[in-house]
């Protein structure tokens, strides 16, 4: 894990601790990378509740309550799905803030409509704040995943201030 990502996680921990908030994550294409970065910070159990790695559509449905109809209509890599993922994280955790990530890290799996590097990230707080962003990251599989992890942490940090 890159040093700047761990430093972002440390800053997030400081901000969440100051608010006495807990965070939780739902990850697909990053495979738990956000949770890994967070738990690399000593003492993160004081501000990190849990992570859901929901790589398949079935896992998204079973663990987070993502609707089959949403997956069918929009696909797993979509605004609608990551918003349902964050809602599921907040329902199934003790977190005040959640992030969800779904994307196509490559090198396979892309299409003309959703090329490799397409990632959706959503953030949601229990007080109703939140939004989702679409990204088109450039690079190989590792670079796409690291860029998504960085953006997920930056978004969590912005909502935690």
CA dist 55 to 8, 87, 103, Å? 24, 17, 10
Residue 161 confidence (pLDDT):
86
CA distance 73 to 67: 10
How far apart, in whole angstroms, are the C-alpha atoms of residue 127 and residue 96? 8
Give the range among 1-5, 50-54, 119-123, 145-149 with minimum mean pLDDT: 1-5
Average pLDDT over residues 94-114: 97
Res. 46 pLDDT band, cuts 50 70 90: very high
Would the CA dihedral through 19, 6, 59, 66 be positive or negative? positive
Q: CA Rg, the chain, in Å?
A: 14
Taking residues 107-121, what's their average pLDDT?
A: 96
Task: Take residue 49 and report the two structure tokens written for it.
Answer: 């509740």
Q: How many CB atoms lie within 10 A of CB 158?
A: 11
CA 97 to chain centre: 11
pTM exceeds cut of 0.75: yes
Q: Which domains does the chain have, with CATH numbers?
A: 3-160 (3.90.950.20)
pLDDT number for residue 65: 98
Q: What is the pLDDT of residues 5-26, one digit of tens each?
A: 999 999 999 999 999 999 999 9
């Amino acid at each position: 894990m890159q040093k700047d990502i761990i430093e972002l996680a440390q800053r997030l921990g400081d901000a969440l601790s100051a608010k006495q908030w807990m965070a939780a994550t739902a990850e697909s294409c990053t495979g738990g990378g956000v949770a890994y970065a967070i738990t690399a910070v000593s003492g993160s159990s004081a501000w990190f509740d849990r992570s859901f790695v929901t790589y398949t559509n079935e896992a998204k449905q079973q663990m987070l309550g993502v609707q089959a109809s949403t997956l069918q209509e929009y696909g797993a890599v979509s605004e609608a799905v990551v918003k349902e993922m964050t809602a599921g994280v907040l329902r199934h955790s003790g977190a005040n803030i959640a992030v969800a990530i779904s994307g196509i890290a490559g090198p396979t799996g892309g299409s003309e409509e959703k090329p490799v590097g397409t990632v959706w990230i959503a953030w949601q707080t229990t007080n109703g704040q939140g939004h989702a962003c679409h990204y088109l990251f450039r690079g190989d599989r590792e670079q796409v995943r690291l860029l998504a992890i960085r953006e997920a942490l930056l978004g969590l940090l912005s909502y935690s201030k």
